[in-house]
Each structure stands twice: as structure tokens, then as C-alpha cells.
């Protein structure tokens, strides 16, 4: 509604918004509720405003508060939310919105939509009217454009208006939420783990994906943003202990339907799928395995493995080589500690590792061991150390060395000493697939799962960037820090968050990747030995 008469308070607010906040005439007019022409005439002191200027010309336009918005956050009362974002002047994806409503009804969840603005000038009617910022009426009841506390240490950053063409939408926002994790409205789906004190949960930053359709300027920035636009949302659940769990809901671009755990949601119903395509466990490190994580993930009767029934399990860094790792083998204090604790036997660590692999064995699931840098440490030990200075391991060392030499003399290029050691230790592993270096293993329409992440391009070290620039989708590990960057998903760690060598702040988390049959994925982070909210 266009205001016909403005009073002195309106004029003061116009000045504050213009000069203190640097708002444009269009933005000020939108806030005040009048036309842009009215704002322009007032600021130019044209017609009818002389009386105001005579009274207030010498008075400063100022404002200030002693408390930030952060100090005044309201706490939402619900225990289940589904959170997405929407762009101005853009129609929603009807199928996706309908599926989200089905999800919300089944899970007793509140739908929240954060908004962002883009290309507002394209919707200006004429010089005499302001830019018309319009949001599809189908989502207006769900819009929450303010910062709120969803749970202890989890913040919804709904007040942020991040342009959808931002390559890294969370740049500069790492400290915005203080010590809390944060959820940001944006058309991309990203996840970034940030360091905290080693014994505190990592701070995780999420972007939501969007419920609105593609609507970008067809130039470079807009075309790139269109490529990375995701019809997506986040499921947020809080259990009776106050622990919160966030996972991605990524929709099919045609239908808007999506998977969440062992259910599939479409525009008018939901069905149980009975299984998922794959789980990439966080790096295992059997000798340093976190028992609570192992119980919740694959040992308990209601574990993630037995609930989701993945067709494939991918294991990274299943071995640790703690007892004779090349990083610490020259440290006599470490060697003495291993002696005192009676943890010097590499053979026993192989047996331990083989038993952990066997504990994941299920009829419904194939196990794939992805060649990783810690697994390769066994071969490095054989190539660099001298059995004569290590009597505890001498016999096992020579056994593996002999097998390696026989493979060389027999031109057996497929031989891998780690696989040989594990399968010799435990017959239950005879059907486990051990991948080789650079061996590809793709699932669900082209997601590469055969790379651990320690090797980069052209012989360089691995990194998120080295995976990202390839343009292909991948599931990997190595960093112990859960990550989603464009098509790259990186799992966390199933081992302990303190492994002795990670000194200082840590971004590690106990996180696994779930891949669905349609190629969509989610990262599930465990909290207090739970992989999902458990309410009594």
C-alpha cells in the first residue's frame, strides 16, 4: 500500500536508512512503504518538505544499541524442522514443496524458509514505481528472515541475505555464529567443519539449498550459480537430551521427490525403501576406533548399518599402523610406551583390523576397502625398516617380506601386502574387495568412490580443491573433517577425535556419507554415540 502522508518520524527514518545504513532509494521506499519518487523528492528537498527541513536540518540522524541482535536471539520451541531458502520473484518448485510438506507432516516438523534477493532491477515496472520484491505466496507462511536459536549450539541465520552467485557463500561468516554451528539460507548445498577445542564437537556450517526454481542472469556468474543450484533442504531434529542432528534432503530436479534415510518422499506420499545405495564410513583407524561410534554405526542391533542396509560399504584408513608408524618409529619415548602397553605387535594390529572389518560383514552389503595412506604404511614399514632391530615383529615382518618378494618374482602386479595380511589373518574376509591405487569405483550414476583423498593431481597432495576442480562427483575421506563442496563429499572419522598427533584446535567429526539410489547424498554426524535423534 502506498502511503499518502509521511510524518516527521518517517522522515527521520528515511534519513537514517539513507545516510547511516547506506540504503538505496528503492530499498528505503520499500521499508517505509511509499514510492521511490517520494523518497527522491524528499531528499532533494523538493515540494512540501520545507517545514521538516527547517526544524531538523541541524539535528543529527543517529542510532545505536548496546546489545547486538545475537544477544536477543529467540529460541524456537520445536524439536523438528525442515529448512530451505527462496529467491525473490521466482516461482517455487511445486513438486519439491509438496514433498517437503509430506515430510513435515510425517515427522511433525516445522517448515522454515529463508529468503535472498537477486537481480531486483529486472522486476522494476517503471521509474515511478519501486522494485517489486515478491515471494511466491505458496511459501509466505513459512518465511523466517531472522536469526534464531534452533537448539543449544545451533543457530539459524535467517537474517542473512547472501547473493546466490556467491562462489563460497560462507566466506567471512566463520565467526558470525560465535561458538555455535550455523545454518545459512542459500541456493548451494555446502558443509564446512571449523575447528574448536579438541574435546568439543566441531563447529559445522551448513547452507540449505533452495525451494525456488532456476532464475539467473545468463552471464558468467549467473550461469555458474545455475549449475550449482540445488533443490534442497536440511532436516534438523533435536532429541530429548538436547542433541541435534542435521542432514541434507536433496530433491530430484524433475519431480522434487527426495530420499531421507530409508524413506522416499514425493508430492503426495512417502514409502519405505528398505535400503540405501552405499555408506562411506568416516576413516576407521581400527587401533584407535571410537567404541561408541562403532556401536552406533555397525555393531548395535539398531545400528545405522542394520537400519539403512547399504548395498555397499566403503572403508577408508581401516588400518592405522599405530604400533610401527613411520611418523613415530624413531621416537624412543613412543617405542617405550608401546612396550609398556604391550602394543608392539603389528600382527596383532592386523588381526584387530581384520576383526573390525568382519564385524561389518552383512549378507546384504559388499565391503570395499579403499586404498589409503595408513593402509600403505604397512608396505612402507617393510621397505624401510630392519627386522633385526625389532624382535617382537621379526617373524611377521619376514613372512610379509617373503610374500612380497615372491609376488615380484612371479610378476604378480596385483599383489598388495595389506590385503594379503588381512585375508591371511581372517578367512571371513575372502570376499572383501581391496581397491588398488588409482582404481576407479563409481556408483549411482558416476560418483567416484575409489579415491581416499591423500593423492592430488599430478603427484601433488590431495585437497578438497583438487577434487572439486575435476567437475566430477566424489565421496572420499582422509581429512577427518566432514565437507560438502559442490559435488565433493568428504566423510569425517570413525576413530577417536584425539589420536595423539592432532595438536590444537580440531575440525574433526564422527561423520559418514550416505548415498541414495538416485545419486543424492547426505552427511550424517554422530553426537554422543547416536546417529539420529532418539526421543523417549
* Residues 479-501: tens digit of each pLDDT: 999 999 999 999 999 999 988 77
pTM: predicted TM-score of the whole model, two decimal places: 0.87
Neighbouring-strand partners of residue 83: 112, 234
Q: With pLDDT > 90 as the criterion, what percentage of the chain qualifies?
A: 66
Render pLDDT for 185-209 as a digit per residue (tens, 0 to 9): 999 999 999 999 877 889 999 999 9
Nearest alpha-carbon partner for 531 in 506, 514, 508, 507:
514
Local structure of 511: helix, strand or coil? strand
- Does residue 129 register a pLDDT over 50? no
- Residue 70: pLDDT over 90: no
Asked whether residue 504 carries a pLDDT value surpassing 90, the answer given is no
Confidence at residue 328, expressed as pLDDT on a 0 to 100 scale: 65
Q: How confident is the model at residue 151 (pLDDT cuts 50, 70, 90)?
A: very high
Pairing mode, strands 232-238 and 191-194: unpaired
Asked if residues 344 and 323 have their Cβ atoms less than 8 Å apart, the reply is yes
pLDDT in tens, 18-41: 887 778 888 888 888 888 888 888
Using alpha carbons, select from 250, 151, 229, 149 the residue that is nearest to residue 186: 229
116: pLDDT strictly greater than 90: yes
pLDDT at 329: 66
Average confidence score pLDDT of the chain: 89
SS (H, E, C) 18-64: HHHCCCCHHHHHHHHCCCHHHHHHHHCCCCCCHHHHHHHCCCCCCCC
Task: Report DSSP state, residue 302.
Answer: T
Q: What is the pLDDT of residue 95?
A: 97
Whether 298 shows a pLDDT value over 60: the answer reads yes
Q: What is the pLDDT of residue 49?
A: 84
Q: Do residues 337 and 409 touch, judged by C-beta distance below 8 A?
A: no
Q: Is 116 helix (H, G, I), strand (E, B) or coil?
A: strand
Residue 81 binned pLDDT confidence (cut-offs 50, 70, 90): very high
Q: Using pLDDT thresholds of 50, 70 and 90, give the confidence band for residue 326.
A: low
Helix axis angle, 373-384 to 394-409, nearest 10°: 90
Amino acid at each position: 500500500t502506498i502511503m499518502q502522508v509521511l510524518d516527521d518520524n518517517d522522515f527521520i527514518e528515511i534519513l537514517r536508512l539513507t545516510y547511516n545504513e547506506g540504503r538505496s532509494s528503492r530499498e528505503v521506499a520499500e521499508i517505509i512503504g511509499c514510492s521511490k519518487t517520494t523518497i527522491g523528492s524528499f531528499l532533494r528537498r523538493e515540494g512540501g518538505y520545507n517545514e521538516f527541513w527547517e526544524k531538523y536540518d541541524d539535528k543529527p540522524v543517529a542510532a545505536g544499541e548496546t546489545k547486538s541482535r545475537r544477544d536477543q536471539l529467540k529460541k524456537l520451541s520445536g524439536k523438528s524442522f525442515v529448512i530451505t531458502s527462496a529467491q525473490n520473484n521466482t516461482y517455487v518448485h511445486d513438486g519439491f514443496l509438496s514433498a517437503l510438506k509430506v515430510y513435515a507432516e510425517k515427522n511433525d516438523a516445522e517448515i522454515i524458509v529463508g529468503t535472498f534477493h537477486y537481480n531486483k532491477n529486472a522486476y522494476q515496472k517503471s521509474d515511478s514505481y519501486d522494485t517489486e520484491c515478491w515471494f511466491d505466496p505458496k511459501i509466505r507462511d513459512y518465511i523466517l528472515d531472522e536469526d534464531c536459536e534452533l537448539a543449544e549450539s545451533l543457530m539459524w541465520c535467517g537474517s542473512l541475505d547472501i547473493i546466490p552467485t556467491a562462489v563460497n557463500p560462507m566466506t567471512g561468516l566463520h565467526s558470525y555464529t560465535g561458538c555455535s554451528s550455523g545454518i545459512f539460507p542459500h541456493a548451494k548445498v555446502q558443509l564446512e567443519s571449523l575447528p574448536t577445542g579438541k574435546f568439543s564437537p566441531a563447529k559445522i556450517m551448513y547452507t540449505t539449498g533452495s525451494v525456488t526454481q532456476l532464475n539467473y542472469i545468463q552471464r558468467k556468474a549467473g550461469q555458474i550459480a545455475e549449475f550449482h543450484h540445488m533443490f534442497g533442504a536440511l532436516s534438523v531434529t533435536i532429541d530429548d537430551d538436547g542433541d541435534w542432528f542435521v542432514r541434507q534432503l536433496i530433491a530430484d530436479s524433475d519431480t522434487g521427490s527426495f530420499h531421507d534415510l530409508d524413506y522416499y518422499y514425493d508430492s503426495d506420499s512417502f514409502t519405505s525403501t528398505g535400503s540405501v545405495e552405499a555408506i562411506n564410513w568416516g576413516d576407521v583407524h581400527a587401533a584407535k576406533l571410537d567404541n561408541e561410534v562403532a556401536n552406533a554405526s555397525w555393531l548395535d542391533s539398531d545400528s545405522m548399518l542394520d537400519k539403512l542396509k547399504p548395498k555397499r560399504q566403503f572403508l577408508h584408513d581401516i588400518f592405522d599402523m599405530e604400533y610401527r608408524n613411520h611418523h613415530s618409529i624413531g621416537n624412543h619415548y613412543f617405542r617405550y610406551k608401546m612396550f609398556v602397553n604391550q602394543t608392539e605387535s603389528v600382527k596383532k594390529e592386523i588381526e584387530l583390523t581384520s576383526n573390525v572389518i568382519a564385524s561389518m560383514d552383512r549378507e546384504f552389503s559388499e565391503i570395499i576397502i579403499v586404498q589409503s595412506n595408513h593402509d600403505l604404511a604397512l608396505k612402507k614399514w617393510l621397505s624401510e625398516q630392519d627386522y633385526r632391530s625389532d624382535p617382537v615383529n621379526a617373524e611377521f615382518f619376514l613372512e610379509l617380506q617373503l610374500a612380497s618378494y615372491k609376488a615380484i618374482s612371479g610378476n604378480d602386479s596385483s599383489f598388495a601386502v595389506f590385503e594379503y595380511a588381512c585375508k591371511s589373518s581372517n578367512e571371513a574376509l575372502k570376499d572383501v574387495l581391496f581397491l588398488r591405487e588409482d582404481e576407479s569405483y563409481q556408483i549411482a550414476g558416476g560418483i567416484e568412490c575409489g579415491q581416499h583423498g591423500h593423492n592430488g593431481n599430478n603427484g601433488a597432495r590431495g585437497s578438497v580443491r583438487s577434487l572439486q576442480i575435476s567437475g566430477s562427483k566424489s565421496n572420499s575421506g582422509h581429512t577427518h573433517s566432514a565437507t560438502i563442496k559442490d559435488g565433493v563429499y568428504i566423510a569425517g572419522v570413525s576413530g577417536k577425535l584425539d589420536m595423539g598427533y592432532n595438536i590444537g584446535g580440531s575440525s574433526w567429526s564422527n561423520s559418514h556419507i550416505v548415498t541414495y539410489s538416485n545419486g543424492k547424498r547426505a552427511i550424517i554426524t554422530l553426537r554422543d554415540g547416536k546417529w539420529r535423534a532418539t526421543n523417549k
